Amino acid sequence: MKKKILLIDDVKEFRALVKIFLSSQYEVITARDGLEALSMLESGLVPDVIVTDLMMPRLDGYQLISQLKNVDPYKKIPVIVLSNVDKRQDKEALTKKGIYGYLHKPFSPDELRENLSQMLNNALVYCN
């Protein structure tokens, strides 16, 4: 069974592109922003990992991560950030909140695949 990834980004074309290059290995579910993602989680979606942008309308990635890390069923879901924002202080603050990784856009598909693979393998080792 494929691992589930919840991909959150406000750019439709970006979501479609990332879904294409991850779909051979993962089940990719997409959301337009943090609000839609939270709604999906509250409706019972349980992804193995969340991949999110930071800059989005309605509920941005910073707000989403803060909310996820404060709610029991969600705080254990690993989060990888994909963002145009490349600020050291943002990376440090988000790492302290418990994100797994931070990739700066543009990134290579192999870089994202490698981060996902490492994260999922580490999660399996941690759980066993």
Strand partners, 83: 104
More confident residue, 26 or 124: 26
With a cut of 50, say whether residue 4 has pLDDT above it: yes
Half-sphere exposure of 44 (CA within 13 A, CB side): 0
Q: How many residues does the chain have?
A: 128
When pLDDT is cut at 50, 70 and 90, the band that residue 50 belongs to is very high
When pLDDT is cut at 50, 70 and 90, the band that residue 87 belongs to is low
pTM above 0.85, yes or no: yes
Structural domains of the chain in order of their starting residue, each with its CATH number: 3-127 (3.40.50.2300)
Tell me which H or E stretch contains 21. helix 12-22
With a cut of 50, say whether residue 107 has pLDDT above it: yes
What is the distance between the alpha carbons of residues 128 and 96, in angstroms, rounded to a whole number?
Answer: 24
Query: Strands of 26-31's sheet, edge to edge?
Result: 26-31, 3-8, 49-52, 79-83, 101-104
When pLDDT is cut at 50, 70 and 90, the band that residue 110 belongs to is confident
Residue 114 burial (CB count, 10 A): 13
SS3 label, residue 70: coil
With a cut of 50, say whether residue 125 has pLDDT above it: no
Q: What is the pLDDT of residue 22?
A: 94
**H-helix segments, 60-108:** 61-68, 72-75, 88-97
